[in-house]
């Protein structure tokens, strides 16, 4: 292929997604111009999705090591130690662009892909979660259809493959109107001795493709996910993968059986860029080369070009690096599961990535050059909207006269209301490990045969990061950790999903950089290292612009004894209700301001990370001492919503008396950070207060749990709320159904 004259015809490298400077760089690496096969290799491996060209330089800020970290970033998934020679592996991935074009398959294959990342570590997948962001449906049926299809895709794949979907979140804002976010997380369990790595060691060892056939589905998915999302078109549909959960279930069982034998030296999932990325990454880690013959790859379609075979993202496929001489034994196991296992190449010692077709060389480039995608440190510019949004003062809005009505409306808000409409479509009990089901602060799974478990959470807040990217990102990490500790789990580590618009725009790059700094600062303060993650950029459309900056935090925690598992619902009438933390007059960035007043304004509530760590340690300590009947963090909607949630979940009332000189709406619905609501018996409450005082933590008894099923909140002798529990429960439990207007 020769360079085409500028102005005569579109340059092939531009069409492939490479810039002129990138094309010049790759020709320098090769010492010549690439042919069409080689150009396709670089276009995929140097895409943002595979090469992290705009985010990799910023990852240096993350804390990635710690006493429980067994594997940090750089593998298919991170691994943490949970004692007894046992480990948990977990990872988060996005499937935003595919889900916008084909929501059912986009969401389903997102689940399948993240499950295979966990499988590639040698682990059995034990749980899935998801974080979903949509535009408000309004009166439009299309958005409701999109929501329904995404949730159906997640449920269909997870239910069929036998991995429980145990938690997550669903959030709404018109910032996601044209570009929904679909992020999936998976958790796996194994012994330390069972850990696998993605490495192609041993010259002469075989590369075997196992699982499904290779087709043209998912063509160019990595480069498709590395550009702005345009109007739906047929070309984009070619980048959407098609999933088969029954095939995935067989693949899981077959791989785990092979892993029990000493046949395999390396494993890699075939995700973005398919055979190409999986083989390049394994060769690079070993410092070796590989040779692959595309004619040997089992295909479902005829006359596939070599580059199509290499970059196809057909699902349910894995790459195994198999010891020479063990190929037949591997094939025998996969054949038993009605799956193919075919040798498509071998490991070489020359450091070259060589593509053959029927033995004839059609492409050859240095392995290191494919992994050496150029990176960019761009100009960051504070978004212009911050000057306006930060000008907000509480006095800019009036206190509503009917706070009773406000609470009801808040409980039915899309971001707050019960998501049972969603999770009743998921099988969250399969495998029989689910101790705390969806709907609580964190999902809790038991480790079979042991008196311990793991806490799993997934949290975000795009509105916070839009209004203050750095503090907003800190708050998301803190919120995820709060959800862990109130459930009785000690936060261990996080995986992050960085969902942003086009980083080449200075204001978006500012949001990206500041959010990463915020995550890093919070993780260091809370001792929750970043062990892996995903970056999904270019989430914007011509019509609606960029999404909110939306970092998503997936966190795991260790429950040292199942006796420590704690839930949010009030347990019995007569228990004392204790508020931990300081309530300030903060309305900025709140769900209340957005949902009731239609304002996305103000600054994110203040956050003292040292106090946050101290408070979380206190909560975990009193739970482990058995002093707590229930625990719930105060997040979206503030004190009144948290109180109502605990009452609704326990089918009990509450009588609260406060003594705070704060305007009523800020008191009830402000989102001051580092606050918790506990309930305790009369025998325990004094110890709770005393331990808080010793730690220098603000704590106060604010009321009692009642059996009369009424929620009463007084402040400074005046009644603010006096409402029947049934009215609250109806608003909370039917909010999502009303949103969807569904007869399902």
Q: Is 29 a catalytic residue?
A: no
Task: State the pairing for strand pair 264-269/181-191.
Answer: unpaired
Buried b or exposed e, range 10-41, using 16+ CB within 10 angstroms = ebbbeebbbeeebbebbeeeeeeebeebbbbb
Please give the Cα distance from 77 to 92 (Å, whole number). Answer: 8
- The terminus-to-terminus CA distance of the chain in angstroms comes to 56
Please give the Cα distance from 708 to 74 (Å, whole number). Answer: 55
DSSP structure class, residue 450: S
3-state SS, residue 538: coil
Strand partners, 184: 93, 130
Question: Which residue in 49, 54, 133, 564 is the catalytic one?
Answer: 49
Which candidate, 153, 131, 166, places its Cα nearest to that of 244?
153
Please give the Cα distance from 335 to 320 (Å, whole number). Answer: 15
DSSP structure class, residue 349: S
Whether the CB-CB separation of 352 and 346 falls below 8 Å is answered with: no
Whether the CB-CB separation of 66 and 388 falls below 8 Å is answered with: no
Which candidate, 602, 593, 677, 595, places its Cα nearest to that of 633?
677
Burial of 359 (0-12, 13-18, 19+ CB in 10 A): exposed
Please give the Cα distance from 65 to 80 (Å, whole number). Answer: 10
Please give the Cα distance from 275 to 272 (Å, whole number). Answer: 9
Which candidate, 521, 528, 652, 639, places its Cα nearest to that of 584?
639
Whether the CB-CB separation of 17 and 226 falls below 8 Å is answered with: yes
Please give the Cα distance from 738 to 344 (Å, whole number). Answer: 53
Q: C-alpha angle 288/291/297, rounded to 5°? A: 135
Please give the Cα distance from 349 to 580 (Å, whole number). Answer: 61
Going by C-beta distance under 8 Å and a sequence separation of 6 or more, which residues neighbour residue 163?
Answer: 111, 115, 125, 126, 127, 128, 186, 430, 431
DSSP-assigned letters across all residues of 183-248: EEEEEEEEEGGG-------STTPEEEEEESPB-STTTTHHHHTTS---S--HHHHTT-----HHHH
> How many Cα atoms occupy the beta-carbon half-sphere of 276 within 13 Å?
33
Whether the CB-CB separation of 26 and 42 falls below 8 Å is answered with: yes
**Token match 């990342």: residue?**
117
Whether the CB-CB separation of 440 and 622 falls below 8 Å is answered with: no
Whether the CB-CB separation of 476 and 673 falls below 8 Å is answered with: no
Please give the Cα distance from 478 to 167 (Å, whole number). Answer: 18
Going by C-beta distance under 8 Å and a sequence separation of 6 or more, which residues neighbour residue 142?
Answer: none
DSSP structure class, residue 492: E
**Token match 């006493």: residue?**
67
Task: State the pairing for strand pair 124-134/165-172.
Answer: parallel
Q: Is 564 a catalytic residue?
A: no
Question: Which residue in 29, 61, 95, 564 is the catalytic one?
Answer: 95
Q: Which two tokens stand for residue 139?
A: 């009166």
Whether the CB-CB separation of 241 and 107 falls below 8 Å is answered with: no
Q: Which two tokens stand for residue 165?
A: 């979907």
Please give the Cα distance from 134 to 165 (Å, whole number). Answer: 19
Sign of the alpha-carbon dihedral angle for 671, 675, 681, 686? negative
Instruction: Give catalytic residues, as residue numbers.
Output: 49, 95
């Amino acid at each position: 292929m020769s360079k085409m004259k500028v102005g005569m015809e579109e340059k092939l490298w531009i069409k492939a997604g490479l810039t002129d400077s990138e094309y010049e760089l790759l020709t320098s690496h090769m010492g010549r111009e690439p042919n069409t096969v080689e150009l396709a290799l670089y276009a995929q491996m140097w895409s943002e999705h595979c090469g992290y060209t705009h985010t990799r330089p910023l990852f240096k800020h993350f804390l990635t090591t710690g006493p429980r970290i067994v594997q940090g970033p750089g593998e298919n998934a991170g691994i943490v130690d949970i004692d007894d020679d046992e480990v948990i592996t977990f990872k988060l991935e996005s499937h935003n662009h595919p889900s916008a074009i084909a929501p059912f398959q986009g969401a389903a294959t997102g689940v399948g892909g993240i499950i295979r990342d966990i499988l590639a570590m040698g682990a059995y997948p034990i749980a899935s979660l998801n974080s979903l962001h949509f535009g408000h449906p309004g009166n439009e049926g299309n958005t409701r259809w999109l929501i329904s299809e995404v949730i159906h895709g997640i449920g269909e794949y997870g239910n069929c493959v036998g991995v429980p979907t145990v938690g997550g979140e669903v959030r709404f804002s018109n910032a996601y109107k044209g570009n929904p976010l679909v992020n999936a997380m998976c958790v796996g369990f194994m012994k330390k001795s069972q850990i696998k790595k993605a490495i192609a060691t041993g010259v002469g060892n075989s590369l075997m493709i196992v699982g499904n056939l290779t087709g043209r589905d998912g063509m160019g998915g990595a480069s498709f996910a590395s550009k702005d999302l345009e109007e739906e078109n047929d070309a984009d549909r070619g980048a959407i993968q098609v999933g088969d959960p029954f095939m995935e279930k067989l693949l899981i069982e077959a791989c785990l059986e092979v892993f029990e034998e000493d046949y395999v030296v390396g494993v890699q999932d075939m995700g973005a860029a398919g055979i190409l990325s999986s083989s390049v990454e394994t060769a690079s880690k070993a410092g070796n080369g590989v040779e692959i013959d595309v004619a040997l790859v089992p295909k479902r379609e005829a006359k596939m070009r070599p580059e199509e075979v290499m970059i196809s993202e057909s699902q349910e496929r894995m790459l195994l690096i198999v010891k020479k001489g063990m190929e037949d034994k591997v094939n025998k196991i996969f054949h038993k599961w009605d799956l193919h296992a075919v040798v498509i190449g071998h490991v070489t010692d020359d450091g070259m990535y060589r593509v053959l077709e029927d033995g004839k060389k059609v492409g050859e480039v240095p392995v290191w050059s494919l992994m050496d995608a150029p990176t960019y440190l761009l100009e960051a510019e504070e978004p212009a909207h911050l000057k306006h949004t930060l000008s907000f003062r509480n006095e800019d809005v009036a206190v509503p006269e009917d706070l009773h009505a406000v609470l009801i409306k808040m409980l039915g808000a899309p971001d707050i209301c019960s998501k049972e409409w969603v999770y009743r479509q998921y099988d969250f009990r399969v495998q029989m490990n689910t101790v705390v089901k969806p709907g609580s602060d964190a999902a809790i799974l038991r480790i079979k045969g042991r008196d311990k478990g793991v806490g799993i959470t997934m949290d975000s807040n795009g509105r916070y990061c839009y209004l203050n990217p750095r503090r907003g990102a800190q708050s998301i990490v803190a919120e995820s950790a709060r959800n862990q500790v109130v459930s009785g789990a000690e936060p261990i580590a996080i995986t992050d999903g960085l969902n942003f618009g086009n980083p080449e725009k200075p204001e978006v790059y500012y949001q990206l950089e500041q959010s990463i700094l915020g995550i890093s600062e919070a993780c260091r303060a809370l001792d929750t290292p970043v062990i892996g993650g995903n970056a999904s950029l270019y989430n914007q459309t011509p019509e609606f612009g960029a999404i909110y900056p939306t970092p998503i935090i997936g966190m795991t925690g260790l429950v040292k004894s199942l006796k420590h598992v704690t839930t949010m619902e009030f347990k019995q009438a007569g228990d004392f209700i204790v508020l931990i933390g300081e309530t300030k007059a903060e309305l900025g960035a709140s769900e209340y301001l957005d949902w009731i007043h239609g304002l996305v304004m103000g600054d994110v509530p203040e956050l003292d990370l040292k106090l946050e760590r101290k408070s979380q340690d206190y909560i975990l300590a009193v739970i482990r001492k058995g002093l707590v009947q229930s625990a719930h963090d105060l997040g979206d909607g503030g004190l009144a919503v948290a109180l109502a949630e605990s009452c609704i979940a326990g089918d009990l009332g509450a009588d609260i008396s406060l003594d705070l000189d704060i305007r009523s709406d800020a008191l009830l619905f402000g989102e001051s950070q580092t606050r918790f609501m506990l309930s305790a018996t009369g025998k325990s409450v004094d110890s709770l207060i005393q331990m808080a005082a010793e730690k220098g933590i603000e704590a106060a008894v604010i009321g009692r749990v009642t059996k009369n099923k009424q929620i009463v909140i007084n402040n400074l002798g005046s009644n603010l709320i006096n409402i029947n529990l049934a009215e609250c429960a109806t608003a909370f439990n039917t909010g999502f159904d009303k949103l969807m207007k569904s007869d399902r």
